[in-house]
Amino acid sequence: MIEISSEIIKSIKKVIGPFQENENINLHEPDLIDTNANSYLKNCVDTNWVSSAGEWVKEFEKYLSAYTGAKYVIAVSNGTVALRLALHGMGVKAEEEVLIPPLSFVATANAVSHLGATPHFIDIESETLGMCPQALERRLKEIAIKKGKFLFNKLTDKRISAVMPVHVYGLPAKMIEIKKICLEWGIPLVEDAAEALGSWIVDNDNSFKHCGCFGDVGTISFNGNKIITTGGGGALLTNNEQIATHCRHISTTAKIKHPWDFYHDQIGWNDRMPNLNAALGVAQMEILETIVEKKRRLYKCYKKNFQDIEIAEIIGESKNSKSNYWLVTLRLKGNLDDNLKSNILQQAHDLKILLRPSWRLLSELPMYSNSPFGDLSESFNQSKRLINLPSSPKLIK
């Protein structure tokens, strides 16, 4: 087992190259050296436009709209806020259920809980690590019942108000199949594309469509470890003008526009992205294609260096999709020794190579242990096998 762990670490070191003895090789860090970030941030300071009103916010939203193809983009303060706003925009309310996969960052479930709703866990599939369309269909047939124009869980008597798949590690989920199921059952579709800026899927018309644009609404995150960062930030994507208008209004404290009067027509949130953060985002949107190209080259390097290791594989994009490879992910194969993954992680961390296991399944966390769920066997099978590898674009020179 120690030999296998050492072989895996050796293959990782071949990809990341030489590094200083006391240097951490982080999982994913931004590289702002060859950007206009300093100039754009200076402009914010020089003009005193540092808060949520400012031209850089508008410019960032325009960049995201042009790149993703979403007609409407709303930049907000973080990815969790974007998810909560998206769910709210789709009418999710307290005492309802949202169907999500258990393999995701906790924000996916927390955004549901922030509205007083309940996460309902649907199993994943092995190819993309995203929500399994067949598992979704099976679970709906087990529990769903139509009452008027809404769908309810007959076991809990709660409305099923949305399905929210996740593009895990930037690997596009099977959105064509999931969208078809949502349309057949009449369930709103929200996409958690937090990790998927620069990831695409071939649509039914044989053209590439950006992740986050298949559902009624989608979201992206710009946290410090994402493919581009605004320090902290997120965005809501939609092609629905009514949803966009409502979400923009509610995210700006529900204030009615007026030269001097402060009139708010409903309870709102103060969710908007500051101008400083948006300026940082614009600087990286200008080089996003270069970043994605570096990430895809890094994936190919890992793939090549692991091709002769029988016990491990590097997970690639599925057919008819294009991944940004936000986090390149290793999957251990076969019958696993209980200590193998821990040994790999420990050896790597001893060398300051900061590998990471997959997240704990959301269904295993104490606040979600009583949430409803279907058969999650593949989620458990995959989560014990996954290790995220150093994926910073600067690792490719």
The pLDDT of residue 101 is: 99
Q: Cα(98)–Cα(368) distance, rounded to whole angstroms?
A: 13
The pLDDT of residue 3 is: 85
Q: Cα(328)–Cα(296) distance, rounded to whole angstroms?
A: 9
Q: Is 65 exposed, middle or buried (0-12, 13-18, 19+ CB in 10 A)?
A: middle
The pLDDT of residue 131 is: 99
Kindly report the backbone phi and psi dihedral angles of residue 8, in degrees, each rounded to the nearest multiple of 5, phi listed first: -65, -45
154 catalytic, yes or no? no
Tens place of pLDDT per residue across the chain (397 aa): 668 899 999 999 999 988 766 789 999 999 899 999 999 999 999 999 999 889 999 999 999 999 999 999 999 999 999 999 999 999 999 999 999 999 999 999 999 999 999 999 999 999 999 999 999 999 999 999 999 999 999 999 999 999 999 999 999 999 999 999 999 999 999 999 999 999 999 999 999 999 999 999 999 999 999 999 999 999 999 999 999 999 999 999 999 999 999 999 999 999 999 999 999 999 999 999 999 999 999 999 999 999 999 999 999 999 999 999 999 999 999 998 889 999 999 999 999 999 999 999 999 999 999 999 999 999 999 999 999 999 999 999 7
User: What torsion do the CA atoms of 233, 238, 240, 246 make, to the nearest 10 degrees?
Assistant: -10
The pLDDT of residue 209 is: 98
User: Exposure pattern of 325-363 as b/e (b: 16+ CB <10 Å)?
Assistant: bbbbbbbbeeeeeeebbebbbebbeebebbbbebbebbb
Domains of the chain: 1-31+287-359+386-395 (no CATH), 36-285 (3.40.640.10)
- Report the run of H or E that residue 301 belongs to, with start and end: helix 288-305
Instruction: Name the catalytic one among 179, 226, 294, 322.
Output: 226
Q: Cα(96)–Cα(157) distance, rounded to whole angstroms?
A: 9
The pLDDT of residue 1 is: 65
Nearest Cα to 221, choosing from 273, 161, 143? 273
E strands present in 15-149? 72-76, 97-100, 118-121, 144-147
